[in-house]
Amino acid sequence: MGRFFFIAKRFIAGESIENAVIVVKALNQLDLDVTLNLLGEGIKQPEQAESAVQNYIAVLDKICDEDLRANISLKLTHLGLNIDEEKCLEHLCQILEAAKERNLFVRLDMEGSLYTQQTLDIFYSLVDSYSNAGVVIQAMLLRSPHDIFVLNKIGASVRLCKGSYREPSELAVQKMPNIRSAYLSMAEQLLKDGNYPAFATHDDYLIDKIISYAEELGISSNQFEFQMLLGLRPNFQQEISRRGYRMRIYVPCGPEWMNYFYRRIRGNRENLWFVLRNLIRS
């Protein structure tokens, strides 16, 4: 285990699936649902994609064996999208098939804009065969309102997030107030015409607005869910759940945690303070 894992473990469930199961059980006990992610992206060797498939199938088995309230989220570059698209599709189908047999849902995370179209094309090619698959849209991208329009038309399940990759101004909104208003207008699109949308954010402002909008439209709390990341605002996660909304926690695990950890602290003052406080104490 890396030297700084003692700090990262607030955000990452551990390096093994067994550790992750302990974390998932604890969250389930607090009435929080989970989506489990095996850390890994932009792999270099085809064998890494093959082992990711085996590991994901082992996770699906664990979810069933341990009766966990969980599904999975994965990144296509973990399955080799950046090496061989055809192979990646095969890998994804193996996982989707295994999930379908177990009645479990699979979310395709969205990576940087280099992969947006490929990820959506793969999703569109599978959605008729696998209704247990969903995708992610990043509110910061200028193309996203159109993508949501198309996804709503086919009844796809969408997770909406702000977007965690740096993107150029030709492709993405840059300023936070503008990202927030883009997020809200896409949330409205999803609440009105979407299929059980998931709103991934820790932002009180957005959460309050989404709740009021759903109330105004007469959309009940079981027609959408909120999602947050492990270790971010844990009290707030429980508060939302206690208010009667489904809250799903994204729980990453695995030895490849450094990139993920870096993304959590980059540009987020609260998380950076948490890390610095722990470094000073240690």
Position among 232, 240, 247, 265 found at the interface with ligand FAD (CB under 6 A): 232
107, 159, 180, 264: which one is catalytic?
159
Count of residues near ligand FAD by CB under 6 A = 23
61 an active-site residue?
no
CB atoms within 10 A of CB 80: 27
Give the whole-angstrom CA distance, residue 112 versus residue 37: 17
Contact track, ligand FAD, 67-86, x by CB under 6 A: --------------------
Contact track, ligand FAD, 85-114, x by CB under 6 A: ------------------------xx----
> Do you know the residue count of the chain?
282
Q: Say which DSSP state 141 is in.
A: B
Distance of closest approach, residue 229 Cβ to ligand FAD, in angstroms: 5
Q: Does position 136 bind ligand FAD by CB under 6 A?
A: yes
DSSP letter for each residue of 12-65: S--SSHHHHHHHHHHHHHTT-EEEEEE---S-SSHHHHHHHHHHHHHHHHHHHH
Distance of closest approach, residue 33 Cβ to ligand FAD, in angstroms: 11
Q: Are 253 and 17 in contact (CB under 8 A)?
A: yes
Distance of closest approach, residue 218 Cβ to ligand FAD, in angstroms: 26
Position among 201, 225, 241, 245 found at the interface with ligand FAD (CB under 6 A): 201
Q: Does position 247 bind ligand FAD by CB under 6 A?
A: no
Q: Where are the alpha helices (DSSP H) in 141-244?
A: 144-153, 176-193, 204-217, 234-242
Position among 123, 250, 260, 261 found at the interface with ligand FAD (CB under 6 A): 250
Distance of closest approach, residue 86 Cβ to ligand FAD, in angstroms: 23
Q: Does position 270 bind ligand FAD by CB under 6 A?
A: yes
Which residue lies nearer to ligand FAD by CB, 144 or 271? 271
Q: Does position 252 bind ligand FAD by CB under 6 A?
A: no
Burial (CB count <10 Å: 0-12, 13-18, 19+), residue 65: exposed
Reading the block at residue 148, the tokens are 């949501």
Q: Are 227 and 159 in contact (CB under 8 A)?
A: yes
Site for ligand FAD in 157-186 (CB under 6 A): 161-165
143 an active-site residue?
no
Burial pattern 210-236, b for ≥16 Cβ within 10 A else e, equals bbeebeeeeeeeeebbbbbbbbbeeee
Residues at the site binding ligand FAD, with contacts judged by CB under 6 A: 109-110, 136, 138, 161-165, 200-204, 227-229, 232-233, 250, 268, 270-271
Question: Which residues are identified as catalytic?
Answer: 109, 159
